Structures are given as structure tokens and as C-alpha cells.
Structure 1
């Protein structure tokens, strides 16, 4: 029969505290892309509605997820997420151009019969970290300077949906890998590009949803899409 002496009880309490502390501090990242196939994702490409045999713009090549750029559409996670840090490592495989990662995605084809309702974190070359509001909204400091005249703000077709980032010189030269970190917590979204804080939005009208990758004209390779749950946002100077 085990002893219930004060010393044994104390040792047991210390062990329990250590276990709880370890569980609190250790969080395993989920690999959204497994390096082999598109398990956990589904494709939405409007051009395939009339031609189901049309080539998919999303493939796996040499262990990387590749967005070929055309036909345009989205690769969307099957699951929804909230309160997380998403690490994306990407590079333009050839001529640089347009692409993006969408967070808090929900209703498909909500904008221009193409884009799911979401907040887009732009990857367009030299503009990585811009926000685009896609039937969702978000606020940043200096809104007029970064979004344009207030009378034109909106979240649907023809409105001022682009919110400029804080720096356009954080990307590496074309052909080199970039790391984009996106943190979503409650109503906030923060974005770093290669260690630089490039955007921080608040008052987001969504706090959870699917994650999507775009095919929007340019070929982009992804070698990492890892998601880690978080309990608070990182400070502005780190990630």
C-alpha cells in the first residue's frame, strides 16, 4: 500500500506541476501539407465546373506544394482553425507575380464568383503582407493612408479592399525562399515576412475559418505550411 506521508504527497504534487507545465509549454505544429499529396485539402476552380477534366492548378512536385497559377482558383483546407500561428515558406519558381494565403475563409466564391469570404494575406511580389478584405473586414492604424479615402472603403466588388503593409522591402530576391508567419488570435491578425513585422490588423470581422492558397497567375512553390495553436499573440518584435 503506497505511503501517504507528507514527503510523498509533496513529491507527487511537484511531479503533477511539472507535467502540467510541460503540457502548457509544449505544442506540436500540425503540417497542413504532408509533402506527398493534398490530403486535408480540396480544390475550388471555377473553370472546372464546365470542364471537370481541366488540369488542376495545384500539384505536388519534388515534395513541394506547387500553385501553377492557372487556371485560377483556390486550394482550401477541409478543417477550420482559430487562434494559431501559420508558418509558410514559399518562393516564386519563375517570373514573380501574384498569389496569396487566405485566413478565416468560409463561403466559397463570395467575391467575383471566385474568392472565398476571407482576409487575404498578400504574397504578390514586392507587396507581401498587404491585407485584402474579401467580404470580411479588418482595421489597421493610419487607415486612410494605407487604404485610401474612407468613402471608398468596403469589402465587396469595386470597393477599397486593399490595406497596404508596413514595408515592401522584406522579401528575398526572386528564386530564394521567403518565410511568412501569420498569427491569428481572436480579432487580430499579424504578419511577418522574413522576420519583419509587415502588418497588424485588429477588429477583424471573423476569428476562425479555413485556410486557402491561391492560384492567381504565377507559379509558386511551398515547402512548408505548418500550423501551431497559440494562446496569445507574439510581441511585435518577435514571432
Structure 2
């Protein structure tokens, strides 16, 4: 096996990354200064960039962003090893042990023939590992929409869920009617902002719940709509500029002409 073949082996590539990071940590002024805290916001940014690449379906960009995140994970382990807290080997072995422990239907004699049974077993095992609540594994800093979906998935894992999607849709309609009744858009009277926010939150939560029942990822769905809106709005801006028009001076009807053109693209 020549050197080019060995570089295609996962363990060789991983060891190469570790060696490069050792060099950078010892010699590069920027890398020497980094801490767990200083890397945190950069890791979050890289994660969102990976998310964007996945939604765009850009495999080359996905590969690049996975590499960036991999670097960050190795960097965290390197800093931890300098503090004599743990090493990258500890991290990998810990993950392997967790996967084996949480898949007793593969590595032991527990039976789980469906995805739902696997999820239920998973939640029960995590409670045995020390989680005080089924919802304890949901990070507090998650964006609210993602958090709502994860909360609902966790609750479902222990059987707290509706039986049919029709029941969930009834809840959506109930929440919508409650919101409309309380905050009628044709009524000009001042509304209770706190109560309106609470009711609107209930409506969103029920919609996210319904999305789960019909296998729609609400975060992906909303982000795709965001991207669609951005694309159409930028087309509107471009066409206005080409025709020497200023958006703030155009009527909505005039803007709608370009908007409808964008929808056909």
C-alpha cells in the first residue's frame, strides 16, 4: 500500500488532523489563544453553515462544513486534555459505550422491531442513566421552534401523545379559533400583548405538533420558506432597480407584478 492509499484510511486521516492541531496549538498565535469559550460561538456558526449546505443539497459544501465542525470537536478535546480533564480517545470511547448501551436490541437481548420501540427504549435507558426528566435532555439554549419539536418527540417516546393526526389538527383549529376570538383582527381595541403572545405560542406549538405527525420537519420547512421569500424579494429589488424605481415609492400592486413574476421562476 503506497502513501496515497494510506491517506484514504479514516484512522490515518484522523491522526493527521490530530497532528496538525498539535502543531497549530504549539506554534500559531491565534490557535494558542483559543479557549472552550472563545470557540463556542464559532462552532454555533459552523453548525448553521452546515445546516444551510444541507438544505441547499450542496455535497461539496457539506463536506467542507463537516470538516470545519470536526476540527472544532478535536480542538475542544485538545484543550480539555491540556486541562487533564479528558482526551479525544476518552470522547470516542465514551460515545462508543453510549451507543452500545442505548442499542440493547443490537448488542443485547432486548427486542425492538420498529423505530417507535427503539425511541421508547432510548428514553427509558436515559432515565436509568440519571436523567431526572424525559425532557431533561432538551438543551435550554435551542431555538424555540426546534425546542418545541424536540419536546414533543421526547414526550412521544414515553407514550404521551395523540393517537391520530386528525386529533392533532382539531387542536390546531381549536387554538386558531381561540386566538381569533380573543384577538379579532377587525377589532381595533388594544389587546393584552402578554396574553396574545401566549395564545400565539399555543397555536405555533400545535402546528409544530401536527407537522411531526405528517413527517414534516418544521425547522426545515420554515427555513425553506425563508429562502424562497429572500429569493423572490431580491428579484423584486432587482427588477425595480432595472426600471429605475424605488421600492418605498412603489405601491403594493406595482410590487406584486414583480413578485408574481418571481413566483413563476
Normalising TM by the smaller chain, what interval? under 0.3
Q: Which has the higher contact order (CA 8 A, sep 6+)?
A: 1
Larger radius of gyration: 2
Tell me the TM-score normalised to structure 2 length.
0.21
Larger strand proportion, structure 1 or 2? Answer: 1
